[in-house]
Amino acid sequence: MSRRLPRTEGPWAWLAAGSVALSLLLLGGLLLLLAVRGLGHFWPASVTLVELEDGRLLAGQAVRELPLERQAGRERLYFTGNRDLDGHVWHWLPVATIVASERPAELVVLERRRHGAFIGRLVAVGEADSLASAQSREAAWARLEAQLAELQELRDERERLRRDVLRPLIRRLDARPDDTAARQALAEANARVRELQQAMGGQAALLESVDGRRLVQPLDEVLRAWQPNAMSLGEKVGAWSQGVWRFLSEGPRDGNTAGGVWPAIFGTVMMVLLMSLLVTPFGVLAAVYLNEVAHQGRLTNLVRIAVRNLAGVPSIVYGVFGLGVFVYGIGGTLDDWFFSDALPSPTFGTGGLLWASLTLALLTLPVVIVATEEGLARIPVQQREGALALGATRLETLTRVVLPMAVPAMLTGVILAVARAAGEVAPLMLVGVAKLAPQIPVDGEFPFLHLDRKFMHLGYHIFDTAFHGNDVQAALPLVYATALLLVLVILVLNLTAIFLRHYFRSRHGVQPRP
Amino acid sequence: MRRKRSPMTLLSRFQPSASGSIIDFDPTASCFEIEGVSLAYGGKPALRDISLRVPRHRVTAFIGPSGCGKSTLLRLLNRLHDLNEEVSHSGRILLEGEDIHAPEVAVDELRRRVGMVFQVPNPFPMSIYENVAFGLRLQGGLTRRRMDDIVEWALQSAALWDEVKDRLRASAWSLSGGQQQRLVIARSLAVRPEVLLLDEPASALDPISTLKIEELIRSLKSQLTLILVTHNMQQAARVSDYTAFLQDGQLVEYAPTDTLFTNPSLRSTENYITGRMA
């Protein structure tokens, strides 16, 4: 469409076109902000060595710059790490007080399990008790990298042991405490884990901050190390993509302020899929009843209005309903009947994946009903009469002609439902979302899908990371990244449904009218 | 419950009858007997006290100005008005001597015996084959081979086989309007109806397609009874054996087509067929 807006359309056409342009611009700006702030976090930023007027030395990554309050000049925020040495990791420095800044290649950044990042110099690597011997910088770095790779292998093996051997054995013992074979195997596996643990200890690195303070860092607490100033662009891109991949594939650490969001991605997608599976049959049946079965009178219209109004009920109200009816009501009863051995610890009588999906299914039911009803109403009466005239009953007409033709409309309903449900957080907080649930609700153990488990959700993860962490500055990039991810997840889910709808629509093309 | 009938026994019941040359044809040769039928849409009368007999294995045309009730009468014959709660009617309609509104008559069985083709072609969004097989699948109990045979027979009867035999799996919506209408006729024929109702079947088609449909109608009367509603008087004259002229919900004149068009007995009929009435 290369038709230009004709001048004669007057100001209204321009106003309308301008509104569209503005909306698109805002949307693009939003995504750009999320992408830059979120994805920039994983870039191995250069470390600057800063010398101040008073002779102090600082090494850190410049984060942002703001004008000083009530004074001329600007101040710059540096991320300096070294919480164990300084007690804090952020430094605001007035730009005017910086005498010199350079980027020495030998500065290292270590990501550690405790105390966060270390920024400074690497002096030596070796057995914890013989670190005094001086090493060249290159030798120390090479040794550090080798040791870290070895440690990673040990860690992976320990993880595998825990997941594949220890957890199943513990569950078997929970079920049958007198299983001596399992007890034996458990003892052996535990011994192996202790062995691995032993092998991991012992190595340490001697580190020195830029102002000369030294510390001995046990290597088993170091996750990764890099020399950002010495890295080429290619290496940085590699490190960046690894960082993004870890964010997508790992579980969270440090009270959700570090690590990845894999359980939250999985929980979100799982919940939305379950919700769609629950809401579609219910919504379609309700729409069929309203449009095809019910007598089209005042009562039906009243029901229709009520359904449309249900779409406007605030989501937290559905959360309260879910908590009262699903969790405490149905869940509590299920526990009494089938899981009374486990009481007082609840199985279904507490929030979980099933109840959250059900609550959201209820929340999105009106959308599916309305969309399906409109689709049913659009099917030409000739198609119904054609089927009836061949001797089809009303039910046969419905199932063989009308419903297949209404599939695109149903998918429109599902698309709208997914768009609404994937972004809801408020009701989930009442019916099953968890701050931290590192175990995803699907595993190799019967019944494979654990509907009673609590789950993580990207939306709630954003809320929790932004407001409940200790270090908001550190959490902020993760909030942006998670928000971007949430948008992308919803986009992918929607595109899937849109693709399906397109397939069903175009399967027979448009009927040519003579 | 549906009666299961093999199409062959059905065909054997179509005995060509020796019909009379005038409207008082042998009553045993009538397929539909309409006796004193009146109909109202939500209290507004649409048909008033109509009585006529439709001869078996002939083409009978209903003509008349728009809104005269000819389509309404047609839709009454396969009880398509049943779903509309606003419609009320009185009088009797007999199909082969049985009252079609009798409580023991299953409406889906009736509609299988009385097929219908509509003004706008309405093939289902399925393949050409599935469209024709639709009615057969509802009946069930047919082997794949038998189904193929009947589909081919129906498409040949509808003069469509040669055009679609190589693309039976293609979507029915890929056909042209005229082909679609012949497909719909084939779809109706596949369930072997005794009567085929045609509600202005060619009014949405181009002249060539119209010609083909008219040829088809003429050729089909050896197999079944056809009732044609049309606002095109030339068409009625070309294809029908008997013509009923309706006006304002009343049957004005009913006669063999030749008689009605050449020598109408009433002034209002003459006015209509000679175009002196809007």
Q: What is the residue type of B86?
A: E
pLDDT of B18 > 50? The answer is no
Query: What is the residue-level pLDDT of chain A in tens, covering all 514 positions?
Result: 455 656 666 788 888 889 999 999 999 999 999 999 888 888 888 889 988 888 888 888 888 888 888 888 888 888 888 888 888 888 888 888 888 888 888 889 988 888 888 998 888 888 777 776 667 888 888 888 888 888 888 888 888 888 788 877 887 777 777 778 888 888 888 888 888 888 887 788 888 888 888 888 888 888 888 888 888 899 899 989 988 998 888 887 766 667 788 888 888 889 999 999 999 999 999 999 998 888 888 999 999 999 999 888 999 999 999 999 988 888 888 888 887 776 677 777 777 888 999 999 999 999 999 999 999 998 888 888 999 988 888 889 999 999 988 888 898 899 889 888 888 889 998 988 877 776 677 766 666 777 778 888 888 888 888 887 777 777 888 889 999 999 998 888 888 888 888 888 887 666 655 4
Query: Which of B83, B191, B196, B197 is CA-nearest to residue B138?
Result: B191
CA distance B265 to chain A (A): 36
SS3 B92: strand
Measured CA to CA, the distance from residue A87 to residue A81 in angstroms comes to: 9
Closest A-chain CA to B170: A508
Is the bond into A447 cis (omega within 30 degrees of 0)?
yes
CA dihedral B78, B84, B89, B94 (to 10 degrees): 10
Point out the residue among B111, B172, B204 whose CB comes nearest to the CB of A391. Answer: B111
- Phi and psi dihedrals of B231, rounded to 5? -105, 5
Measured CA to CA, the distance from residue B232 to residue B237 in angstroms comes to: 9
Question: Which tens digit of pLDDT belongs to each residue from B210-234?
Answer: 888 898 898 888 889 999 999 888 8
Point out the residue among A382, A507, A508 whose CB comes nearest to the CB of B122. Answer: A382
SS3 A331: helix
Instruction: Let me know how long chain A is.
Output: 514
- Determine whether the interchain pair A507/B124 forms a contact, defined as Cβ–Cβ distance below 8 Å: no
pLDDT of B9 > 50? The answer is no
Q: Identify how many contiguous H helices and E strands chain A contains and give both numbers.
A: 17, 12
Q: Name, of A331-340, A473-482, B16-25, B121-130, the range with top average pLDDT.
A: B121-130
Q: Which chain A residues have a beta carbon less than 8 Å from that of B126? A: 508
Closest A-chain CA to B1: A393
A509 and chain B in contact, CB less than 8 A: yes
pLDDT of B19 > 60? The answer is no
pLDDT of residue B16: 35
Interface test with A, best of B77, B109, B111 (most A CBs within 10 A): B111
Question: How would you class B71 by CB atoms within 10 Å of its CB: exposed for 0-12, middle for 13-18, buried for 19 or more?
Answer: buried
Q: What is the DSSP letter of B165?
A: T
Measured CA to CA, the distance from residue A411 to residue A416 in angstroms comes to: 9
The CA-based angle B169-B173-B175, given to 5 degrees, is: 80
Point out the residue among B80, B109, B172 whose CB comes nearest to the CB of A388. Answer: B80
Sign of the alpha-carbon torsion through A136, A139, A143, A144? positive
Q: How far apart are the first and last CA of chain A?
A: 27
- Determine whether the interchain pair B176/A512 forms a contact, defined as Cβ–Cβ distance below 8 Å: yes
Question: What is the ipTM for the molecules in this complex?
Answer: 0.82
Point out the residue among B135, B177, B191 whose CB comes nearest to the CB of A514. Answer: B177
A389 and chain B in contact, CB less than 8 A: yes
pLDDT of residue B207: 86
A383 and chain B in contact, CB less than 8 A: yes
CA distance B28 to chain A (A): 26
Closest A-chain CA to B197: A389
- Determine whether the interchain pair B184/A386 forms a contact, defined as Cβ–Cβ distance below 8 Å: yes
Q: What is the DSSP letter of B35?
A: E
**Average model confidence (pLDDT) across chain B:** 83
A412 near A369, Cβ under 8 Å?
no
- Phi and psi dihedrals of B188, rounded to 5? -70, -40
Q: Which chain B residues have a beta carbon less than 8 Å from that of A402? A: none
CA distance A427 to chain B (A): 41
Point out the residue among B115, B126, B138 whose CB comes nearest to the CB of A392. Answer: B138
Instruction: Tell me yes or no: is domain B29-273 CATH 1.10.10.60.
Output: no
Q: Which chain B residues have a beta carbon less than 8 Å from that of A295? A: 85
Closest B-chain CA to A385: B80
pLDDT of residue B11: 38
pLDDT of residue A73: 84
A393 and chain B in contact, CB less than 8 A: yes
Please enumerate residues of B whose Cβ is less than 8 A from a Cβ of A: 2, 78, 80, 83, 85, 108-109, 111-112, 115-116, 118, 120-126, 134-135, 138-139, 171-178, 180-181, 184, 187-188, 191, 204-206, 209
pLDDT of residue B83: 77
pLDDT of B13 > 90? The answer is no
pLDDT of B277 > 60? The answer is no
Contacts of B164 (CB under 8 A, 6+ apart): B128, B155, B170, B175, B179, B183
pLDDT of residue A289: 92
CA distance A454 to chain B (A): 44
Closest A-chain CA to B119: A382
Point out the residue among A385, A391, A511 whose CB comes nearest to the CB of B173. Answer: A511
**In which band, very low, low, confident or very high, does the pLDDT at B3 lie, cut at 50, 70 and 90?**
very low
| Domain spans, chain B | 29-273
Q: Could you give the domains of chain A?
A: 48-229 (no CATH), 262-506 (1.10.3720.10)
CA distance A498 to chain B (A): 20
pLDDT of residue A41: 85
pLDDT of residue B7: 43
Measured CA to CA, the distance from residue A387 to residue A403 in angstroms comes to: 13
| Mean pLDDT, residues B41-69 | 88
A293 and chain B in contact, CB less than 8 A: no
CA distance B197 to chain A (A): 10
